């Protein structure tokens, strides 16, 4: 599958352009379960399109939205009618209507309101305050939900729903430890945690303690895993690559993220993929390559 498709829920740092590289690095026969402890937008797993999958996140609004799509309580016609109606009101009232929907969502947590906010807020951010309330300001586009844009979103929902209808996918709110512990040797774990020591809008935050717990949990798993993180940028390197992850395979690639309101904040970053098996993606580079023949005893070589 060469085409990369975008899911209906978007976020800053979505990995659409990195999906081909991630797919190339996979070493899995597809016979077990695809496990994502940090599903986020779901862009990687949805494009891999496994027959069986467990998508998890601690953000209940992401999970609730995709559970609704799976159960057909959100369908393309339902979403179309909703976006046309609310989009008409926002075109007339601008930010006043956006903040009305935001207040309603924070009181009732309707997944369609979450979709509306996600696609009309400032800079495509997903951010919640300490009380779990969505607090991203309006994106200042009154006519955001023009006909062509609604059609685009509806096609994204239709694509994801068709995948779900032809597969055995589960969506659950749970910790990354719980998700990883449920993976067996035949399964594959793809982890896309918040990037440690970089600005993130993760639902529960992400600090050194969580990064270390993730390392310990993945290290003990019998399943193959692939982890996305950042390696370095022009200012500094990710110290956890050397301190924690260097005993695994580390593959890197330059990438440019279109995040931040100012152009000066939109810089390139070297992405890293960390695997507990020999990948077939491309050559390992620089210092990372020196670690490539020193995998820990419980990793899977070849296969």
pLDDT in tens, 166-182: 999 999 999 999 999 99
pLDDT tens for each residue of 188-243: 999 999 876 554 554 556 788 999 999 999 999 999 999 999 898 888 899 999 99
Q: DSSP assignment, residue 185? A: T
User: How far apart are the C-alpha atoms of 224 and 57, rounded to whole Å?
Assistant: 20
Are 122 and 138 contacting, i.e. CB atoms less than 8 angstroms apart? yes
For the chain, residues with pLDDT lower than 70 are: 1-2, 196-205, 255-267, 280-303
Are 51 and 113 contacting, i.e. CB atoms less than 8 angstroms apart? no
| Angle, CA of 69, 14 and 1, to the nearest 5° | 70
Helix axes 60-70, 111-120, angle to 10 degrees: 110
Q: What values do phi and psi take at 208, rounded to 5?
A: -60, -40
Bridge-based pairing of strands 34-36 and 52-57 is: parallel
């Amino acid at each position: 599958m060469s085409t990369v498709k975008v899911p209906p829920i978007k976020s800053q740092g979505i990995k659409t352009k990195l999906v081909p590289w991630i797919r190339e690095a996979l070493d899995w026969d597809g016979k077990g379960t695809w496990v994502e402890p940090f599903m986020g937008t779901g862009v990687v797993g949805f494009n891999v399109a496994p027959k069986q999958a467990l998508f998890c996140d601690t953000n209940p609004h992401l999970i609730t939205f995709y559970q609704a799509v799976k159960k057909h309580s959100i369908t393309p016609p339902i979403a179309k009618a909703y976006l046309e109606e609310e989009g008409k009101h926002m075109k007339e009232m601008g930010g006043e209507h956006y903040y009305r929907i935001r207040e309603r969502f924070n009181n009732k947590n309707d997944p369609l309101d979450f979709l509306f906010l996600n696609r009309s807020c400032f800079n495509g951010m997903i951010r919640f305050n300490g009380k779990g309330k969505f607090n991203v300001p309006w994106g200042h586009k009154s006519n955001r939900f023009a006909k062509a844009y609604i059609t685009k979103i509806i096609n994204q929902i239709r694509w994801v729903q068709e995948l779900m209808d032809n597969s055995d996918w589960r969506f659950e709110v749970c910790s990354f430890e719980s998700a990883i512990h449920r993976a067996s040797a035949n399964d594959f774990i793809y982890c896309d945690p918040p990037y440690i020591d970089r600005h993130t809008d993760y639902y529960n935050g992400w600090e050194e303690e969580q990064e270390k717990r993730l390392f310990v949990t993945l290290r003990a798993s019998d399943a193959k895993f692939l982890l996305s993180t950042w390696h370095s940028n022009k200012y500094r390197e990710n110290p956890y690559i050397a301190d924690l992850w260097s005993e695994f395979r580390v593959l890197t690639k330059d990438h440019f993220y279109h995040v931040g309101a100012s152009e000066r904040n939109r810089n390139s970053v070297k992405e890293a993929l960390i695997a507990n098996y020999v990948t077939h993606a491309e050559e390992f580079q620089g210092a990372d390559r020196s670690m490539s023949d020193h995998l820990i005893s419980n990793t899977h070589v070849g296969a």
